Amino acid sequence: MPIIDVHGHWGPWPYFRSSGLLGETNIDLMDRYGIDVQIVSGAEAVTYDAVAGNAALARVLAAQPRLYGYAVVNPNRIEASAADLRHHLAGGRFVGAKIHTHYPGRAIGSREMREAFALLNDLEVPLLLHTWDPDVARLPALLADFPRLRVIVGHAGGDAWREAAHAAAECDRLYLEHCRTAADAERITYAREAGVGVERLLFGTDATLVDPSVSLGVVRDAGLRGAELERVLWGNAAELFGLGELGGGAGR
């Protein structure tokens, strides 16, 4: 069964000396765990320079067909990010946008985040949004004003995974992706019981920050089988990002 990881990173992290230094680090981990395709954001772009980090990632994507990219949008510099996002989407190797809430210091309910959402709604590009607190409950009301925007709730709210589950149950354009290091059990089961269909659950790892075995364990804990497991591990991502031709492991 193919696997598409919708939450990866490429490049060195400023707080580690030796994690993710080479593109091969991603590929090594993908090979180890049978991951065919990974959608990544540049670590440099996420943490301190979106434009420079996106440019560095573009050079990597041109040489590595198993990786696709998120162009990081900095809500504090929306005009520069808008031009940068349009440039990278036109190249075909970037298939979505990534916004981190903590590094730029903008909460989901902020004016700056609203402007970023408006941009992504106009471009109709999927957004991977870092979420880690009860602020995630604001998303259904916010998305009501942006009817073409689809949001992957990165980390599924983190510590606020229950609030994220109920938000996703309220809005069918929210997708839950559960990667994180804390091993709270039955997060996926809780979301499904709250009303989130299997078609809006995605597999992500947070590699190279976190070993993919953690997220694979979360999926196994959910007891998914057959067609449901296929949807979560690759089918939903292939549909969301238009990567259907990669099903069956052709991307490896």
Model confidence at 49: pLDDT above 80: yes
Model confidence at 76: pLDDT above 70: yes
Segment 18-32 mean pLDDT? 76
Model confidence at 183: pLDDT above 80: no
Q: Token digits for 196?
A: 């989130």
pLDDT, position 18: 52
Model confidence at 180: pLDDT above 90: no
| Whether 59 contacts 245, CB under 8 Å | no
* Confidence category of residue 250, pLDDT binned at 50, 70, 90: very low
* Confidence category of residue 74, pLDDT binned at 50, 70, 90: very high
* Confidence category of residue 248, pLDDT binned at 50, 70, 90: very low
Helix, coil or strand: residue 148 = coil
Region for residue 124 given its phi and psi (left: phi exceeds 0; alpha: psi -120 to 50; beta: otherwise): left
Mean pLDDT estimate for the chain: 92
Distances (CA, A) of 81 to 77, 178, 186, 189: 6, 27, 37, 37
In sign, the C-alpha dihedral spanning 79, 89, 147, 134 is negative
pTM: 0.94
Strand partners, 68: 39
CB-based burial label for 168 (10 Å; 0-12, 13-18, 19+)? buried
| Whether 157 contacts 164, CB under 8 Å | yes
